[in-house]
């Protein structure tokens, strides 16, 4: 296939409605909570006494409000982690809240969190670990798959609409441990049957892992990539294999280029829409540990990750683990609130609505900038000079991902154009920051594109953009 044909193929790939709705959430939370919270571990050993689970002050509404204060629009709950303890009364195991003293054995945390999300207008998602260190059928093949599918059906049919079903491929059994080859196709079919609007994330066909759990993002993130990246076993082989306390801060720089012209030209695979999610934790661990209370990430650090992820054609999944009492700690809540204010301030700094736009007719009736495959420029001007420190460009990804290079210039006092920033791919959103400069005219130019695109732009005034 010629390089031009390959680019035309890439230009024609589109997201599914479920992928588009997921990307529009932008920022959502992970809640790691369960038996590990009670035992102060990251990976439980399995067979822990259910009596240990008794969070005295658990308040799901407090969890949801904490995440909402940061601007998150969804919540994914660890309904069962690797230890096998279920946060709902599963009919296929006694290793669940039904055997604990919490709510006198009548509790259902999945139901409580789902209801709290509904009250706040927040989307609800579920994490279900395929690895189960308690269930005796693990490692038996179809017998365990039957067990796992039964639990999946319980979660997907009893708790309302689900926006994400989040799988990982972790298996720390070791060389001499039990081996279970997960029947991913069977699991995926159950999700599609019961929750057709849900994306299947990470070990799944809809959303891919960014490649690390440190919040690191690629310089250019492409949603159109070779189909081989959807291979769940490949993702699983890169997943965490050991509970060493270091994985959540490990950054790997391999495979930095997944979808450029060079990358897709080097592959003969079918091209698919497979966008990235950036996931990391507000603390060193995924579950709450009191010893980490002084190691909560700052709002500044999380804001940088937000700008690089949501502002780099990915979504941002931030883990916030409640404590043993069942509450998000004060330290975490403070940072989340500060982060929410920073994010709000970023978008409030937009001065583009006050600009005069040229050339005439560059915008459609909905205010979107129309770009063809040969590129185009958009000029924004103000009556008086403004100090600007960044731009935000959104691409209408319902039409695919088209922009390959974009340049930002300002007009100087000598009536010359000064380049201040440049980026490669745009995708759903690109947040571009640069040292503050005073000007009355900004020019945005698409210098390379795969096909026609619709863009929306914001110009960020210095001092107000965080």
Contacts of 13 (CB under 8 A, 6+ apart): 224, 271, 272, 273, 400, 401
Residue ranges in the chain whose pLDDT is less than 50? 232-236, 238-242, 244-254, 465
**Cα 233 from Cα 230, distance rounded (Å):** 9
Residues 62, 195 within the same domain: yes
Contacts of 105 (CB under 8 A, 6+ apart): 97, 98, 99
Domain contains 399: yes
**Cα 303 from Cα 316, distance rounded (Å):** 11
Residues 290, 418 within the same domain: no
Beta strands in 397-429 (DSSP E): 403-411, 417-423
Residues 226, 187 within the same domain: yes
User: Residue 72: which of 114, 125, 23, 122 has the closest Cα?
Assistant: 122
**What CATH number corresponds to the domain at position 400?**
2.60.120.260
Residues 358, 297 within the same domain: no
Residues 279, 396 within the same domain: no
Residues 339, 364 within the same domain: no
Domain contains 266: yes
Burial of 176 (0-12, 13-18, 19+ CB in 10 A): exposed
pLDDT at 374: 83
**What CATH number corresponds to the domain at position 41?**
3.20.20.80
For residues 234 and 198, is the Cβ–Cβ distance under 8 A? Answer: no
Domain contains 158: yes
pTM assigned to the model:
0.94
**Cα 343 from Cα 137, distance rounded (Å):** 46
The number of domains in the chain is 2
pLDDT at 404: 97
Per DSSP, 32 falls in state -
Domain stop point among 348, 371, 398? 348
Residues 287, 432 within the same domain: no
Helix (H) or strand (E) holding 78: strand 74-80
Which residue segment(s) compose the domain that 43 sits in?
Answer: 3-348
Cis amide bond preceding 359, omega within 30: yes
Domain contains 466: no
**Cα 192 from Cα 197, distance rounded (Å):** 8
pLDDT at 215: 66
For residues 287 and 41, is the Cβ–Cβ distance under 8 A? Answer: yes
Residues 104, 166 within the same domain: yes
Contacts of 288 (CB under 8 A, 6+ apart): 32, 33, 37, 321, 322, 323, 324, 329
Domain contains 245: yes
pLDDT at 214: 66
């Amino acid at each position: 296939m010629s390089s031009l044909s390959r680019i035309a193929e890439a230009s024609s790939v589109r997201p599914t409605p479920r992928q588009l709705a997921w990307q529009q959430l932008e920022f959502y939370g992970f809640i790691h909570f369960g038996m590990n919270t009670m035992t102060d571990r990251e990976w439980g050993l399995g067979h822990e006494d259910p009596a240990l689970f008794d969070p005295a002050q658990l308040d799901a509404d407090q969890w949801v409000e904490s995440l909402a204060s940061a601007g998150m629009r969804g919540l994914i709950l660890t309904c069962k982690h690797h230890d096998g303890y279920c946060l709902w009364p599963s009919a296929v195991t006694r290793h669940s809240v039904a055997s604990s003293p919490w709510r006198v054995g009548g509790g259902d945390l999945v139901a409580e969190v789902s209801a709290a999300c509904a009250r706040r207008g927040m989307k609800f998602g579920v994490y279900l670990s395929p690895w189960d260190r308690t269930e005796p059928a693990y490692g038996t093949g179809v017998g365990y798959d039957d067990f796992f599918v039964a639990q999946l059906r319980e979660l997907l049919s009893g708790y309302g609409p689900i926006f994400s079903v989040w799988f990982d491929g972790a298996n720390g059994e070791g060389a001499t441990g039990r081996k279970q080859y997960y029947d991913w196709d069977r699991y995926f079919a159950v999700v599609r049957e019961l929750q057709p609007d849900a994306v299947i994330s990470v070990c799944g066909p809809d959303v891919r892992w960014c490649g690390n759990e440190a919040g690191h993002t690629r310089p250019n993130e492409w949603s159109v990539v070779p189909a081989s990246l959807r291979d769940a076993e490949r993702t699983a082989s890169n997943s965490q294999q050991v509970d060493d306390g270091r994985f959540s801060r490990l950054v790997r720089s391999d495979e930095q280029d997944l979808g450029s012209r060079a990358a897709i030209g080097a592959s003969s695979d079918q091209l698919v829409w497979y966008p990235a999610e950036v996931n990391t934790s507000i603390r060193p661990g995924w579950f709450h540990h009191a010893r980490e209370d002084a190691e909560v990430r700052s709002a500044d650090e999380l804001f940088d990750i937000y700008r690089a992820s949501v502002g780099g054609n990915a979504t941002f999944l931030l883990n916030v683990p409640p404590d043993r009492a069942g509450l998000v700690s004060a330290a975490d809540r403070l940072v989340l609130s500060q982060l929410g204010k920073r994010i709000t301030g970023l978008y409030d700094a937009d001065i583009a609505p006050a600009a005069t736009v040229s050339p005439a007719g560059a915008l459609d009736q909905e205010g979107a900038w129309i770009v063809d495959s040969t590129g185009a420029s958009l000029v924004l001007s103000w009556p008086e000079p403004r100090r600007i420190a960044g731009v935000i460009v959104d691409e209408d990804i319902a039409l695919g991902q088209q922009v390959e290079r974009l340049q930002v210039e300002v007009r100087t006092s000598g009536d010359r154009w000064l380049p201040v920033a440049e980026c490669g791919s745009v995708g759903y959103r690109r947040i571009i920051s640069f040292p503050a400069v005073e000007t009355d005219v900004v020019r945005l130019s698409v210098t390379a594109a795969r096909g026609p695109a619709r863009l929306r732009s914001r110009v960020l005034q210095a001092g107000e953009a965080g």
